[in-house]
């Protein structure tokens, strides 16, 4: 009876998380070597991704027709953004419902690339509808219309969202 008890007592000094002795079959060098190979393949795939990004942009969104819409939160805004809907010339082109992580990323100063598409040169109508909750907890909905002039180069616009207004910045 006392044998197993003393065995148990010995385990007291080893605390709960047993990172331990799993595996004579797996050496540290083996794991390290594999980890380095994983790093290498990550690097290779990132290079492929970068080239594919450029190919995709050239093929699907050539600069003479490209329009890109970005969404940012105006500095110091603490309201909860629930969703953004974007219409271009009356047609819905993007609708996004925000997760907590995405909202946090926007609040930290990140910018969301919400839409890329193709339009002809000339004037276009951009409609933005925002839904959210102000810091007091009340729901709000806001909608704005903007005119976007597409020239020969890519058209890049930023929608800066604040609880009171939506601003379009032409980039």
Partner 1 sequence: MKKLFILLAIFIVSAGLSSAGAAPPKELRDLYFGEALYDAYQADWFDAIARLDTELMQHYDVDEPERDTLHYHINQAEFDVGDFELGYRMHRRAGRAIKAVIEDNVDEPVRNEAIFRLAQLYFFKDEPVEAQAAVDRITGKVPPKIQDDLDSLRAQIRMANRRYAEAAEILSGLQKAKDLEGFSSYNLGIALIKEGKEAEGREYLDRTGRITGQDELTLAIKDKANLVLGSKLMKDKNFEGAKKILDRVRLNGPFSNRALLDSGWADAFQGRFERALVPWSVLATREVTDPSVQEALLAVPYAYGRLNTYSRAAVLYGSALEKFAAEFDKIDASIQSIRDGHFLKALVREELQQDPDWVVKLRKLPQTPETYYLLDLMASHDFQESLKNYLDLEQLRRKLETWDRNLDAFEDIIARRRAYYEPLLPGIDRDFRRLDSLMRLRLEQRDRIEQRLKAMLVVPRPDFLATANERILAERITLMERKMTAGGKTVPAGVEARIQRLRGVLHWNLYTEYDRRYTEAYKHHRDLIREVDRMKKQYAAFVRTRQAATQSYEGYDGVIHRQRVLIQKAREKVGKLMERQGQILETMALNELTQRRERLAEFQVKARFSMADSYDRATRTQIQERMKK
Q: Which of 111, 65, 63, 56 is nearest to 84 (CA)?
A: 111
* Options 50-58, 82-90, 123-131, 137-145: segment touching partner 1 (CB under 8 A): 50-58
Question: What is the footprint of partner 1 within residues 133-152 (CB under 8 A)?
Answer: 152
CB of 113 closer than 8 Å to CB of 102: no
Q: Which of 89, 92, 95, 121 binds partner 1 (CB under 8 A)?
A: 121
Half-sphere exposure at residue 18, Cβ-oriented, CA atoms within 13 angstroms: 7
Q: Shortest gap between Cβ of 75 and partner 1 (angstroms)?
A: 10
Q: Shortest gap between Cβ of 136 and partner 1 (angstroms)?
A: 26
CB of 63 closer than 8 Å to CB of 150: no
Q: Which of 111, 131, 162, 168 binds partner 1 (CB under 8 A)?
A: 111
Question: What is the footprint of partner 1 within residues 67-106 (CB under 8 A)?
Answer: 68, 70, 72, 101-102, 104-106
* Options 39-47, 80-88, 124-132, 135-143: segment touching partner 1 (CB under 8 A): 39-47
Q: Which of 76, 90, 151, 171 binds partner 1 (CB under 8 A)?
A: 171
| Interaction site with partner 1 (CB under 8 A) | 1, 4-5, 7-9, 11-23, 25-26, 30-31, 34-39, 41-56, 58-60, 62, 64-65, 68, 70, 72, 101-102, 104-106, 108-113, 121, 152, 156, 158, 171
């Amino acid at each position: 009876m006392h044998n197993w008890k003393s065995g148990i007592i010995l385990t007291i000094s080893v605390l709960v998380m047993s990172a331990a002795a799993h595996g004579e079959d797996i050496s540290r060098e083996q794991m390290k070597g594999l980890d380095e190979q994983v790093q290498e393949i990550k690097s290779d795939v990132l290079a492929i991704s970068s080239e594919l990004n450029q190919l995709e942009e050239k093929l699907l969104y050539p600069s003479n027709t490209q329009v890109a819409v970005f969404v940012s939160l105006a500095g110091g805004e603490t309201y909860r953004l629930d969703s953004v809907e974007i219409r271009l010339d009356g047609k819905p082109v993007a609708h996004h419902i925000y997760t907590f992580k995405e909202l946090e990323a926007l609040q930290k100063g990140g910018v969301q690339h919400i839409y890329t598409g193709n339009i002809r040169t000339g004037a276009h109508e951009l409609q933005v509808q925002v839904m959210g909750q102000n810091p007091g907890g009340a729901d709000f909905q806001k909608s704005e219309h903007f005119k976007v002039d597409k020239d020969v180069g890519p058209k890049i616009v930023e929608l800066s969202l604040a609880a009171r207004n939506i601003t379009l910045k032409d980039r």
